[in-house]
């Protein structure tokens, strides 16, 4: 007997299996391109683009928690060793190769590029922070020691720490088999989200000022405890936990989904898209929309849940079908490698683009973006896929024999 509603629990592991969500792959494919173009200074006028990373965070929490619930439904437990083995095979090979190559680039720069000589005494800190998945923590406590060639690994640090800690918490709560343990898990998650969000809003007034050209940091490397706390909260770990709560909520929706539920989900999806795209345009341009502590920023973050809910539960909608286009899905499957490699590829071009404007800057940015995407595609083909085959053969997830539908109904 599976553990679920029969035990009168708040967290219901019984329900439709997650299945493949084509629109999620398409979303990753479309918006990883925007991340690359934004960092290449091609679409940097969309100053709110960092909210894309928040979507990835919420989606990660949602997907991982749903997979954990699927496994518990199928086997009445969670094989944590297999979970960590699968995560390691998916993430580590490409990540550590990228860190190795980037480290060689750093060593080359400090030996042959005069402008990089001043970083000689701290050059080793950045690769070490990335390799130990502590980048955003080091950035919070020692911000002046990091020069950015591995700066994009801050978000991977947040996710990897989540992948390590959350399954342990989930496993412990499920093993207790008590309604009270579910309640503590949910309340604890809500408190964590509220505290981290509030910290960003409260402390941003100490760190950030809004100027005529958008947000400027009063002291980006503020050494005070307020600066440290603000930088830690700005890593947005609360958004992954928010995705976990969304997974719990989805399992509580009665099946089959009624027409009334579908109407509310559709309305929520529209509002979610307005918040997401609206912040991409307005972020850092108006009071309240500041990165990362603006009150409207927090509202737009909360609106990511109905957006994800709409993509998951209304896969027949026009937007979901558009994002499910096979070319976007193909690109989305390679989004991890593209994200990993685009910054090391962009960095030499960013030096060339310093002080350059107009068509030449645009051309350099587009060339750098194209090379970054190609590097990610090559990473998927030659580095990630061989390990993915091992992951899906030796460490295959258990299947629920009672599951008949690959999509939510």
Beta bridge partners of 209: 216
pLDDT at residue 216, rounded to an integer: 47
d(C-alpha 125, C-alpha 104), whole Å: 14
Inside any domain, residue 233? yes
Inside any domain, residue 403? no
d(C-alpha 217, C-alpha 149), whole Å: 20
Inside any domain, residue 409? no
Inside any domain, residue 407? no
Q: Which residue has the tokens 């720069």?
A: 109
Encode the chain (409 residues) as per-residue pLDDT tens digits. 333 444 566 677 766 666 789 999 999 999 999 999 999 989 988 989 999 999 999 999 999 999 999 888 888 888 999 999 999 999 999 999 999 999 998 888 888 877 666 665 678 888 999 999 999 999 889 877 776 789 999 999 999 999 999 999 999 988 887 778 888 999 999 999 999 999 999 887 766 655 555 554 555 667 778 888 888 999 999 999 999 999 999 988 887 888 888 999 999 999 999 999 999 998 878 778 888 888 999 999 999 999 999 999 999 999 999 999 999 999 999 999 999 999 999 988 988 888 788 899 999 999 999 999 999 999 999 999 999 999 989 888 776 444 433 344 4
**Domain membership of residue 186 as a residue range:** 5-394
Inside any domain, residue 400? no
pLDDT at residue 180, rounded to an integer: 81
- DSSP characters over 95-144: HHHHHHHHHHHHHHHHHH-GGGGGGGGGTTHHHHHHHTT-HHHHHHH-GG
Inside any domain, residue 402? no
Inside any domain, residue 404? no
pLDDT at residue 110, rounded to an integer: 82
Say how many domains are in the chain: 1
Angle of CA points 135, 60, 239, to nearest 5°: 70
H or E segment and range at residue 45:
none
Inside any domain, residue 254? yes
């Amino acid at each position: 007997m599976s553990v679920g509603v029969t035990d009168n629990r708040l967290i219901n592991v019984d329900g439709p299996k997650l299945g493949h969500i084509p629109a999620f792959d398409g979303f990753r494919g479309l918006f990883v391109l925007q991340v690359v173009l934004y960092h290449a200074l091609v679409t940097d006028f969309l100053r709110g683009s960092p909210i894309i990373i928040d979507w990835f965070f919420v989606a990660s929490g949602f997907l991982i928690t749903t997979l954990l619930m699927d496994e518990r439904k199928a086997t009445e437990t969670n094989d944590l060793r297999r979970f960590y083995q699968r995560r390691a095979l998916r993430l580590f090979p490409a990540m550590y190769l990228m860190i190795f190559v980037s480290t060689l680039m750093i060593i080359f720069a400090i030996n042959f590029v005069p402008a990089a000589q001043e970083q000689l005494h701290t050059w080793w800190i950045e690769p070490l922070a990335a390799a130990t998945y502590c980048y955003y923590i080091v950035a919070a406590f020692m911000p002046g020691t990091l020069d950015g060639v591995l700066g994009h690994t801050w978000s991977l640090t947040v996710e990897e720490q989540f992948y390590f800690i959350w399954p342990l918490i989930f496993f412990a709560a499920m093993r207790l088999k008590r309604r009270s343990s579910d309640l503590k898990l949910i309340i604890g998650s809500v408190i964590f989200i509220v505290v981290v969000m509030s910290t960003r809003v409260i402390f941003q007034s100490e760190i950030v000022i809004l100027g005529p050209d958008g947000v400027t940091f009063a002291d980006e490397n503020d050494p005070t405890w307020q600066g440290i706390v603000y930088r830690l909260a700005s890593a947005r770990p609360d958004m992954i936990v928010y995705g976990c709560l969304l997974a719990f909520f989805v399992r509580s929706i009665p099946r089959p989904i009624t027409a009334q539920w579908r109407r509310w989900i559709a309305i929520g999806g529209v509002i979610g898209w307005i918040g997401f795209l609206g912040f991409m345009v307005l972020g850092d341009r108006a009071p309240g929309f500041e990165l990362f502590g603006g009150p409207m920023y927090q509202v737009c973050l909360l609106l990511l849940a109905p957006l994800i809910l709409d993509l998951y539960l209304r896969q027949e909608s026009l937007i979901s079908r558009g994002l499910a286009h096979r070319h976007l899905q193909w690109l989305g499957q390679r989004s991890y490698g593209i994200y990993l490699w685009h910054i090391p590829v962009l960095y030499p071009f960013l030096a060339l683009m310093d002080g350059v404007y107009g068509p030449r800057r645009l051309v350099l940015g587009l060339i750098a973006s194209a090379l970054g995407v190609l590097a990610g595609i090559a990473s998927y083909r030659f580095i990630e896929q061989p390990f993915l085959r091992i992951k899906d053969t030796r460490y295959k997830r258990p299947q629920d024999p009672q599951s008949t539908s690959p999509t939510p109904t």
